[in-house]
Structure 1
Amino acid sequence: MKRRHGVLLFVIVSLSFCLFQVVYVLFTASNDCKCMLNVVQVFLSTCSKHGVSPFLVDPDVLEGWQEFHFKHESKAGLVVADDGIQHFCNRKMVTFAVLATEWPSATQKWNMKLLLRDFKELSFLWTNTTGPHPRLWRVTDLVKQEPSPYHFVFWQASLALHLVIFYSRGQESYMWHAPTDLQLFREYNLAHPAVQPVEEQGRTHVHFPLTAGTYERFDLTTIVVHDILFHSPRDVASFLSQQRASRFLECDAKSARQFYEKYPNQVSDDELEFLVQARQLLALGKSVMENVGIRFWLSSGTCLGWFRQCNLIPYSRDVDFGVWIKDYDERLVQAMLDRGLTLKHRFGKVSDGFELSFVYFGLKLDLFFFYEESDHMWNGGTQAKSGKKFKYTFPKFTLCWTELVGVRVRVPCETLSYIQANYGRNWAEPVRHWDWKSSPSNVREVGTWPEREWPEVIQVFS
């Protein structure tokens, strides 16, 4: 009997201990959530006092918010969340962004001083990084300019808020932010050695991309969570999709100037006219491709011009796009025709060596379709008069965003290897006479189309 009572007592004690652990974990997590939310609330209200409206861009929190079941939408248009506090639990850092037009600039030093004074009075510490204004990136080392803010880290106790400054760039006014320098977080790490350093795993506490990034403009909405007003992207799924593919590469303006110093830019009237029209064709081609939902990147001479001289090559006489064959959509040709382009030729098959060429007021827009193999990429070429087939091989690459003549476009992230594959190690030397069948370093002849297939694989329209 005593033994049975002993076993029963042991079970009761064990269950009590387990219950205590559960309550303790829940209590601790709840306190962690509330602590972070309190820091966020103070931060947001202080910014609001100075006319600054940060919006949430932290991918982890936003991904959780996609699962919200909203209670109702008030008359003021504010979305009241049924849930959301748990996404701030066990977090040491949350990332917000703000438009550069709202954040005090270098010419508004008094406003910045007042804002930072208020943060100091609220026991916040902070550090920040700065750099040249993105609209002046071409002349960074030529013109003296006040540094522009890029990133801030504000922290109170061991809880930190990462603030990213979003700038407007290009003729399309797309949004851009600078890369995140991990040195930005060193002071925070030194102040809190118990917190695992950011540098150890790169994204331990910084969940926002570390590279420079770019986004199409997006609308914001307001969400109420735990009586706190949060601004966030209205279409969270679209924003996160952009964020995952947001990496931005800046053209090397210094190398471009060195190129022009070595090869003075003597542009004829015809070449000047080409540059103006090619910019229009680039923007038009981009518009059509995006409307159909097809990704593309700068390829061949257009990519070389961006990489080597931060511009179009004035004597190239065409604009070149690369496209994944898996992204091809049969609606593309008609979409181009509807926007005033004329189909010049259609070579190859969708399954082999496909390419399209359009003409717009005398300028060519060439679309080269790329096929992916296990260890390389390739695109094809066809000689119309002989039916000969050619293959251009490239090392594998991924896509990044950049800007060319004010237009936001993609380029291969591994640009140098892409350029060297096509133009060899002497790619930096201008070549005015180029034979697409023999000049490229990566071209080889791979046979001839059977004559019975010529009506399908060799279609010349103008």
Structure 2
Amino acid sequence: MKRWAFLKIVLIFSSVFMFIQLLIWTKFSSKEIGEPNHSRVKDVIKALVNVWDHNNAKLFLMDPDILMEYMEDKADGHTCGSFCQSQKKLVTFGVKGNVKRSLRPVFHRLRSYNFAVVDSIDEFPDKVDDASFHVTSHVFLQDMTHPEPTIHILVLYERAAGFLWHSKIQVASSDLAFGYDAGSYKNFDLEPAVIDGISLYIPKPVDKFLNSVPQSKYIECDQVRADNFHKSYPPDVSTKAQHFQRKARQLIAQGKEVFDKLGIRFWISSGTLLGWYRQCDIITHPRYVDFGVWIKDYNPQLIPEMEKAGLPLKHLFGRVNDTFELSFQAGDIKLDLFFFYEESDHMWNGGTDVKNGAKLKYVFPKFRLCWTTLLNLHVRVPCPTLPYIEANYGKGWATPVKEWSWKDSPTNVKQNGFWPKDQWDDVIQIYE
């Protein structure tokens, strides 16, 4: 009986203690979670912007979620939204870094204003004035008076090919908007903006920047693989090979300028892609350069714009809705342009045999596009790249083949019917 009475008293006291704890937790959690996060995000960002040394590097907002909200709030005329209503635990800003200028003075200033600073260091991929540099790549800040949000500062550097680049972060978090992969962007300007009463900078134009974020993944050419390849197959340094390399680079640059002007996404394909993947260079024995383009991106202004750029049409095969292919002449070499069609489980581009009107179909696994550098030019490649290469060249892609038949050699080629003879004048056009 006494034992039961004792347990009863313990249970009563335990219940009262738990009730008091619940009241305390409810009171403080409502203060921490209810009012809170909204004003904390704004307060932390305001403190950061106020103490940042913009003379060293301009800080700009690049968080996609908040920039999207800012654009919506601006359109709706809201005066408090993007920061005031934000529940984010991590907000991303950016700076354009300089490999020769340290950000340490900025960090020292932040620490003196009660910010905790953690940064990561990476090797910059390009040499500058024949010297290698290690650079600050990612910075994480926390206002010691407010545990949330954390500020992620992404440091972007201009590469030799003229684009902005950031490294992949070593330890990724699900909250990160940037850093799961290395990224690259066409250089952009900054413009002042006022968001929830805070004056700061944002990319200009912001909508173009936001559209580029999902397509920003950057992959370096594998120099180790290229070096191993060249141990077995030394590069051709003949005058003829060097001439082709210069002409090929010029042609890619010309084509890129026209395609970029028209807003047409293109990627290096076929033998041009194989050269990049295998040897970080261009294969010098062909007399052509290969581009791939989604057929949905085709613009009828492409042919006149290419001809205006001094690249006349060499041939036109097929129709836009079937096996379309273009080729443009550039002196003694040409640019072959293959259009890709998307099916439910694969991609394909077509080819036409001018001798008999046969249609060919080259089948590829699904892929997306990533950025890279070839001949110091900023270009896209299919990624993942290896399945694309193996579809075209099989498992033996690492061994050079000088005798290549476009209609027999590829491992992914299939017969796809014939063009009727009465249509040949339309679907097989060759210009001298």
**2:289 alignment partner, SS class:** strand
Letter matched to residue 193 of structure 2: I
Tell which deviates more after alignment, 428-437 or 439-448. Answer: 439-448
In structure 1, stretches of 5+ residues that fail to align are: 1-20, 73-80, 138-142, 184-197
Give how far 1:86 is off. Answer: 4.0
Q: Which residue number corresponds to residue 132 of structure 1?
A: 123
**1:135 alignment partner, SS class:** coil
What pairs up with 1:287-436 in 2 under 5 angstroms? 287-436=257-406
RMSD of Structure 2 on Structure 1 (CA): 2.5
Q: Which residue number corresponds to residue 166 of structure 1?
A: 156
Change (3 A) 1:26 1:285: farther
Q: Which residue number corresponds to residue 35 of structure 1?
A: 40
Question: Aligned partners of 2:76, 2:56: CA distance in 1, in Å?
Answer: 29
Please point out which of 79, 84, 92 is paired with 1:82. Answer: 79
**1:313 alignment partner, SS class:** coil
Q: Which residue number corresponds to residue 230 of structure 1?
A: 200
What pairs up with 1:162-311 in 2 under 5 angstroms? 162-171=152-161, 173-182=162-171, 198=173, 202=174, 205-208=175-178, 210-311=180-281
Give how far 1:229 is off. Answer: 1.9
Question: Aligned partners of 1:395, 1:71: CA distance in 2, in Å?
Answer: 43
Please point out which of 383, 395, 412 is paired with 1:442. Answer: 412
Question: Aligned partners of 2:55, 2:319: CA distance in 1, in Å?
Answer: 60
Letter matched to residue 166 of structure 2: H
Question: Aligned partners of 1:70, 1:48: CA distance in 2, in Å?
Answer: 31
**2:110 alignment partner, SS class:** helix
Give how far 1:88 is off. Answer: 5.7
In structure 2, stretches of 5+ residues that fail to align are: 1-25
Letter matched to residue 164 of structure 2: M
Q: Which residue number corresponds to residue 115 of structure 1?
A: 106
Question: Aligned partners of 1:416, 1:211: CA distance in 2, in Å?
Answer: 18
Tell which deviates more after alignment, 127-136 or 255-264. Answer: 127-136
Change (3 A) 1:420 1:292: same
Does structure 2 retain, via aligned residues, the 8 Å contact 1:371–1:379?
Answer: yes
Tell which deviates more after alignment, 152-161 or 452-461. Answer: 152-161
Identity %: 40
Letter matched to residue 163 of structure 1: I
Does structure 2 retain, via aligned residues, the 8 Å contact 1:170–1:408?
Answer: no
1:94 partnered with 2:83: no
Q: Which residue number corresponds to residue 3 of structure 2?
A: none
**2:271 alignment partner, SS class:** helix
Change (3 A) 1:131 1:28: closer
Task: Provide Cα deviations, 1:415-440, integer angstroms capped at 9, x if missing partner.
Answer: 00000000010101111121101111
**1:117 alignment partner, SS class:** helix
Question: Aligned partners of 2:166, 2:224: CA distance in 1, in Å?
Answer: 21
Give how far 1:180 is off. Answer: 2.5
Give how far 1:301 is off. Answer: 0.5
Does structure 1 retain, via aligned residues, the 8 Å contact 2:56–2:106?
Answer: no
Q: Which residue number corresponds to residue 73 of structure 2?
A: 68
Give how far 1:31 is off. Answer: 3.5
Question: Aligned partners of 1:303, 1:428: CA distance in 2, in Å?
Answer: 13
Give how far 1:50 is off. Answer: 5.8
**1:206 alignment partner, SS class:** coil
Task: Provide Cα deviations, 1:379-438, integer angstroms capped at 9, x if missing partner.
Answer: 111111222221111111111111111211111111000000000101011111211011
What pairs up with 1:17-36 in 2 under 5 angstroms? 29-36=34-41
Change (3 A) 1:70 1:28: same
Give how far 1:91 is off. Answer: 2.2
Question: Aligned partners of 1:343, 1:237: CA distance in 2, in Å?
Answer: 35
Letter matched to residue 446 of structure 1: N
**2:354 alignment partner, SS class:** coil
Q: Which residue number corresponds to residue 9 of structure 1?
A: none
TM-score by length of structure 1 reads 0.81
Q: Which residue number corresponds to residue 153 of structure 1?
A: 140
Does structure 2 retain, via aligned residues, the 8 Å contact 1:382–1:389?
Answer: yes
Q: Which residue number corresponds to residue 48 of structure 1?
A: 53
Give how far 1:449 is off. Answer: 1.9
Give how far 1:120 is off. Answer: 2.6
Aligned pair count reads 401
Letter matched to residue 68 of structure 2: E
Question: Aligned partners of 2:192, 2:230: CA distance in 1, in Å?
Answer: 49
Task: Provide Cα deviations, 1:46-68, integer angstroms capped at 9, x if missing partner.
Answer: 32266332100101110000023
